Chains A and B, each alone.
Chain A
Amino acid sequence: MDKKVKKEFDPKIVGFLCNWCTYAAADLAGSSKMEISPALSVVRVMCSSRVDHNLVLTTFFNGADGILIAGCHPGDCHYGEGNYYARRRYALLKKVTESLGLESERLQLTWISASEGNRYAEVVNSFTEKIAKLGPSPINCRSDL
């Protein structure tokens, strides 16, 4: 009997990237031909503060194994203070999912500026690795939510 080779798990990750910094960093990383995990689907937002909790929850419910929110470094937000509010909202999301035991480590917020193409590649690759290790999300595509 031949053993079935266990199918590799391909994580699905959604990245909400701020237009003014991280999205540009993604561009830079791409044009510099850096190796970037293909697991990440990019959604461009105008500011990290655009990412509200329903957006995050719906994305998880509809099949994401991990979500990355990335914006400008503190002090550099195009709109002044958006990323500070985003950070508060993110802390809240983390805490609620943590309190319900919903694998809050599948959600990550980070700051990547337009010039940090290298860092972008690193963050995406290491987050992909982390999610790959965690395996498929238990809330991913359930039919009873």
Chain B
Amino acid sequence: MSRITLESKPSDGVRELLRHLLDKGKVSAVLAPRRLDDEGSLDLGFITDRSELDSIDPFAPVMIANTAQVLSMITPSSSKIAVVLKPCELRGFVERVKREQGTLDNILTISCTCGGVFPLQKAVDGITGGMTANYYSDLSSEKIHAEIRETCKACEHFIPINSDVTVSLVGEKDLDENCQIYLNSKSASELLEGLGGEIDKKEYDPAISAGLMKKRLAEKERLFNSVFPGKGGIDAVIEIFGKCVGCHGCSRVCPICYCVSCDFESMNFDSDIAYYEKELSQKGALRLPPDTMLFHIGRMIHMSFSCVGCGLCSDVCPADIPVASVFKRTGDKTASIFDYIPGRDLEEAIPVMVFKEEEFSRFVDE
């Protein structure tokens, strides 16, 4: 475990690092955010041609797709791939690997202490370009940037867990000429030998970003209390999800919702007029398309303990429902009863796949 210090911008430093990996044949390809223009259009570039690396913007504060989903498409890979991703994307991928939706073998993960990302709308409107100056100075001064996603503002896992390489951004001064690269694994040290720069034996110290952590935790409490005010109840649930148009976009983009044939889109939920007539005779009126609350509460039960709070679901919702904030809020509670943190440890089993003989006596009326 060591640190490399380069006298460059972190984004230049990482491009240099990626060039080193490709040139020396240490990886066969790179997957990273790529700028398509100066305004904020991005994609995830899957690159083997070194000249393409110039357009890589490793820390672009945008999440165009969840890299965890994309990694499921390209793993297992027969040769080594370097991947630049946000901490929550990495945790999301760890959750997917647990569900046999990919593997971390042959993947070199490069992440950063994360200042959050802009909502997609701001990126497609091309306004992130103008905002990023401010964004990087807020990183240095450990401020929560005003324009990032709601769940990013409330995210306490902005220090990557389990990344091979961590680039320190939050709380670092002089980000114009200071690039701190922490090598957290043996494979990272081997692959990055000969990169140059100053090398010492330091591990990442969370004290560097403790100021932001405090603010994020306070913001998390504020968000959770405000997104679901008071005691809740079915009226509150309907107030939030009543606007849902049933597109299921929120589950499509979710790194955790991996099911190829989602139960809610299966024959199980394919009803005919006879069924609706029966329902009508009992209830007098129905909401169509049906099963809106069932979809959201059911999905919460199904996956909330693994929710990494990436915020994509809120971003894609055409009805502007704060899906991510509600899911993350409930997810924090469901994960906590199993002492679980999504993406913390590949060896940590998915809570519903294991049990202890003695547990939950508080819930069960023995």
Contacts and interface: CB of A to CB of B under 8 A. Distances in A.
A88 B234 contact: no
Q: Is the interface of B mostly helix, strand, loop or mixed?
A: helix
26 contacts: A57-B298, A58-B294, A87-B359, A88-B351, A88-B354, A89-B352, A91-B363, A92-B301, A92-B352, A95-B334, A99-B330, A99-B334, A101-B237, A102-B232, A102-B237, A102-B297, A138-B234, A142-B234, A142-B283, A143-B286, A144-B238, A144-B285, A145-B238, A145-B287, A145-B291, A145-B293
Contact of B282 (A63, A88, A89): A63
A110 B354 CA distance: 20
- B285, B291, B334, B356, most chain A CB atoms within 10 A: B334
Interface of A: 53-54, 57-58, 61-63, 74-75, 81, 84-85, 87-103, 108-111, 123, 138-139, 141-145
A62 B281 CA distance: 12
B300 interface: yes
B283 A109 contact: no
B353 to A, nearest CB: 8
Interface of B: 228, 230-238, 242, 263, 268, 279, 282-287, 291-294, 297-298, 300-302, 304-305, 329-330, 333-334, 337-338, 351-352, 354-357, 359-360, 363-366
Contacts of B302: 53
Contact of B233 (A54, A84, A95, A102): A102
A61 B329 contact: no
Contacts of B263: 54
Given A84-B357, A99-B329, A101-B233, 10 more contacts: A88-B338, A90-B363, A91-B360, A93-B301, A95-B337, A97-B297, A98-B333, A100-B297, A100-B330, A143-B283
Contact of A53 (B231, B287, B301): B301
A98 B363 CA distance: 12
Contact of A87 (B235, B283, B304, B364): B364
The 6 closest A-B pairs by CB, nearest first: A101-B232, A143-B285, A84-B355, A101-B233, A145-B293, A53-B301
Contacts of A108: 365
Nearest to A97: B297
Contacts of A138: 233-235
Given A53-B298, A87-B360, A90-B364, A100 B287 contact: no
Given A95-B337, A138-B233, A88 B360 contact: yes
Given A95-B337, A138-B234, A110 B364 contact: yes
A75 B366 CA distance: 13
A126 B107 CA distance: 57
A75 B355 CA distance: 12
Contact of B294 (A61, A90, A110, A141): A61
Contacts of A100: 228, 232-233, 236-237, 297, 300, 330
